[in-house]
Chains A and B, each alone.
Chain A
Amino acid sequence: MNRTHVTCMINDDETEFLCDNDESLLDALRDEVGLTGAKEGCGTGDCGACSIILNGQLICACLAFAPEANGGTIETVEGMADGDRLHPLQTSFLEEASLQCGVCTPGFLMAAKALLENNPDPTETEVRYAIAGNLCRCTGYDKIVRAVLGAAAQMRKNPIEGARP
């Protein structure tokens, strides 16, 4: 069996894994690396539950092939907190009760993080469009949108150290 050797940075950890050439990056993260924070809700890029950031770009991990990560940098929900210090989005999601079942939450957090890194002061409409690729069936999005707006305000007041400008 010929498997491909992939080396990449995942959440600041140098990581190696073997994968099949046509294996999805999502399967590799979950099955080969053991990071199960990204979820498979559809496998077709429609639900966003597997959202991760690859080389600075928000993607559905189910739509990328695992070998594409070779030499790249991956951010997943597991790397969002800085040690014990939660990312403001994580805190905001908890305080606003933005999750019910929580299975879509990792994807929303990644999509919201990608938004705020590019647009630190989004309008409600901009937030809604930025997370429109992420499905939540529990909340009706109200409390998610509030949490993203709240975290954005918080981050404008107290920027995260080391964050991209």
Chain B
Amino acid sequence: MTVAVEESPVKKSYKWVGTRPVRHDGLEKVNGKARFAADMTKPRMIHGHVLRSPLAHAKILSVDTTEAESMPGVKAVVTAADFPPPSKNEGFPHRSSNLIAREKVRYEGQVVAAVAATTRRQAKAAAAKIAVKYEELPHVLTVDEAMADGAPLLHENLITKGLDTTPKQASNIAKRDYFEQGDLEAGFAEADVVYEHEFTTKVVHQGYIEPHACVADTSKDGRSEIWCSSQGHFMVRSATAEMLGWETSQLKVIPAEIGGGFGGKTTIYLEPLAVKLSQKANRPVKIVMRREDVFKATGPTPGTKIRVKIGARKDGTLTAGKAWLAYESGAFPGSWGMLGGWCVFAPYDIPNVQIESFEVVVNKPVNIAYRAPSAPMAAFATETVIDQIAREIKMDPIELRLLNAVEEGDYNHSSMVGTFQRIGLKETLEAIRDHPNYKIPLGPNQGRGVATGFWFNIAQSSSATVNLTENGRAVVVTGSPDIGGSRVSMALMAAEELGIDVKFIQPVVGDTEAVGFTDVTEGSRTTFATGMAVVRACRELVTQLRERAAIMWDCSVEDVEWVDGKAHHSGNKESPLSLAEITAKAKKTGGPLNATGSLEAKGQGPAFSTQICDLEVDPETGKATILRYTTAQDAGTAIHPSYVEGQMQGGVAQGIGWALNEEYIHDKKGVMQNPGFLDYRIPVASDLPMIETVIVEVPNPKHPYGVRGVGEVGIVPPIPAIANAIHDATGLRLRDLPMSPVRVLEGLNQQNGVG
């Protein structure tokens, strides 16, 4: 279902954009030929194994590799001594510091050394012979523990930034961000209803199915070729170069197909280790992470503690909002609290606001982005309190949101937005209000919850090169790894611009030597920003095609128009020339036709999603079963609607897992107890219903096709939508994740005076 809200900024209807062709890379993915990171093999290749810390926090007293080096098959061993020290200003995400532990290990699973040997078995056996002496230190695992007075310190020199007075003593609080507007006290005084509650969320993992893997082949001339899966191979090149102290020109990074990322592959873990091992062994080296290590040493998104206070008048007008947010950042500082603060009230126009957020280091893996990073936890708090207000004043929760929803011209205090341009929050709310699923009657123990969510769209650098072939086909090369169908979206935009059938366009992800610099596939930016680069290159090509037609017709280029894939003579003196007819004559009119579009994109369009969850709570077990799920999201323009729906559905499914099941569980020593998919349970097919999608299209006025970010926002509303539905079903207000059967049952028992 698609709701077209207004005409596109450019033209009303498209020939290719908005259609649903089979993706160009699909065939290889259904016949097993697509090559993911671990599928690469090279002649003479040997295997790496990484030794990781068994302790959450410890001083490293010594690392002795003597015995390991003499083990059978061993070709190379690397330790921290093989890598330059991290730059003092390295900043988020502290890749060099995180690459390999130096004086200290700061979480269980941190890299201490790596071995390469002829077989995986030999490498593993040798790694076990590396003798590491540790002095165990006390650790902290939650924001409460880490922020407590006298807490053990992860970094002895970490001074909190962003306080009014710079503290003299180190702490685990890396940064505080603060924003206020209006008069908070007056705002709350104006309110008829005020609610304030505290919420906690647990660490969860992106859970991509493909573990991190790479092959590095370093030659004696000091160059290395890296084959790996990531969300950005240019990032892999620059980060690996930095960690090795090399020039970027020494590295070529070839993107493998990527088996999921969701933000978790916006950084690197293995590549510098593999390059160095390969250099020492003079052999190609492959390293594949085990799933256990993926959980223990990559990814996760922060655990949080958030307090939100919101005031409203009886008529539903929100008068004041106050938020206090503490986000874990793992073992090194991040920007998660700041992002949470930017998102916590973003959907609402609240005149009086105060937001204070903190980044807190803990002895857990370094957090990295996970789909709309930081927004779901903040939305959990805000959207639950909003639901409570709606019930108290007996107003429909969608109407309450509509009354206070931000629109064009409203201010957003994040540095990424400022003043909103045309946005589609109200349209997603109306789409849900008017959806038949909002009115389906519910049975006993069943409940309905709604919630809305906001997320940014980031722009950054993108490059595309479009080459026309001699028979009139187009090869579209971009630098953006295709994580969920972006190649076909690039091809659709190119087809629209050039006027040729989308099946005659071959979209390709080029390696770091084949296409211009392109930032990471993140922030819902690829179809938006890399799409703009493709459009720019295609428009340059159309100019060239008109020039070539003018040469063929011996007329002025002003007399040539490009319409629907053909050059037309303005005086109709010549029969139109197709693109293929022009490229066939290219040798006689000036040579091959190609063009490059490179840009630092601007005009990103934030996205909103509003969702309805219907569920049933089993009073015997506390298990919440999702009965129906409906999501309405503003996509700007859906270039390939099937893949827009796919992003919406995927985000919802991840949100459902986060809400109901997923959490990192640590023992008292800080050792993760559930580092596998059996005990860290992500949703499976039998847990979910069909996920109904409504694509709302409020075109982004700053994009040639009206595209706005699509990939991330879908994960923002599910947690509060589910919490609100559980309340509707049972009367329980759950404010701690996950809302697992045990938690729900505890709540029900308390409600009934049992236990």
Point out the residues of chain A lying under 8 angstroms from B683, CB to CB: 140-141
Cβ-neighbour of A143 out of B210, B483, B649 (below 8 A): B649
Point out the residues of chain A lying under 8 angstroms from B35, CB to CB: 36
Q: A49-B209, A102-B34 are in contact. Are A132 and B684 (CB under 8 A)?
A: yes
Chain A 102-133 per-residue mask, 1 if CB under 8 angstroms from chain B, else 0? 11111001000000000000001101110111
The segment from B416-424, B460-468, B686-694 found at the interface with A is: B686-694
> Bound state CA distance, A93 and B26, in angstroms?
9
| Residues 131-147 (chain A) with a chain B CB within 8 angstroms | 131-146
User: Are A37's CB and B649's CB within 8 A?
Assistant: no
Point out the residues of chain A lying under 8 angstroms from B121, CB to CB: 20
User: Are B31's CB and A42's CB within 8 A?
Assistant: no
Point out the residues of chain A lying under 8 angstroms from B206, CB to CB: 137
A100 within 8 A of B: yes
Q: A42-B677, A102-B259, A143-B649 are in contact. Are A97 and B686 (CB under 8 A)?
A: no
Point out the residues of chain B lying under 8 angstroms from A102, CB to CB: 25, 29, 34, 257, 259
> Bound state CA distance, A70 and B653, in angstroms?
40
A residues lining the B interface (CB < 8 Å) = 20, 30-31, 34-44, 46-47, 49, 76-78, 80-81, 86, 90, 93-97, 99-106, 109, 124-125, 127-129, 131-146
> Bound state CA distance, A101 and B683, in angstroms?
17
User: Are B291's CB and A103's CB within 8 A?
Assistant: no
A21 to chain B, nearest CB (A): 12
User: Are B211's CB and A78's CB within 8 A?
Assistant: no
Point out the residues of chain B lying under 8 angstroms from A42, CB to CB: 291, 676-677
B22 within 8 A of A: yes
A-B contact count (CB 8 A): 179
Q: A94-B30, A101-B260 are in contact. Are A46 and B209 (CB under 8 A)?
A: no
User: Are B291's CB and A44's CB within 8 A?
Assistant: yes
Q: At the interface, is chain B mostly helix, strand, loop or mixed?
A: loop
Point out the residues of chain A lying under 8 angstroms from B685, CB to CB: 127-129, 131-132, 134, 136, 141, 144-145
User: Are B676's CB and A46's CB within 8 A?
Assistant: yes
Cβ-neighbour of B31 out of A90, A97, A100, A144 (below 8 A): A90
Question: What are 11 A-B contacts defined by CB distance under 8 Å?
Answer: A39-B259, A41-B209, A41-B210, A41-B677, A42-B677, A78-B32, A86-B31, A104-B259, A134-B685, A135-B677, A140-B653
Point out the residues of chain B lying under 8 angstroms from A145, CB to CB: 685, 690
Point out the residues of chain A lying under 8 angstroms from B260, CB to CB: 100-101, 103, 137-138
Chain B 34-53 per-residue mask, 1 if CB under 8 angstroms from chain A, else 0? 11101101000000000000
B411 within 8 A of A: no
B residues lining the A interface (CB < 8 Å) = 20, 22-23, 25-27, 29-36, 38-39, 41, 121, 206-211, 257-262, 288, 290-291, 483-485, 640, 642-643, 645-647, 649-650, 652-654, 676-678, 682-686, 688, 690-691
B463 to chain A, nearest CB (A): 23
> Bound state CA distance, A125 and B640, in angstroms?
28
User: Are A80's CB and B31's CB within 8 A?
Assistant: yes
User: Are A135's CB and B691's CB within 8 A?
Assistant: no
> Bound state CA distance, A95 and B640, in angstroms?
12
B338 to chain A, nearest CB (A): 27
User: Are A97's CB and B682's CB within 8 A?
Assistant: no
Q: A36-B39, A43-B291 are in contact. Are A139 and B210 (CB under 8 A)?
A: no
> Bound state CA distance, A109 and B34, in angstroms?
15
B30 to chain A, nearest CB (A): 4
6 A-B pairs closest in CB distance:
A37-B32, A103-B259, A140-B653, A102-B29, A97-B642, A46-B677
User: Are A141's CB and B653's CB within 8 A?
Assistant: yes
Q: Which residue of B lies closest to A47 (CB)?
A: B677
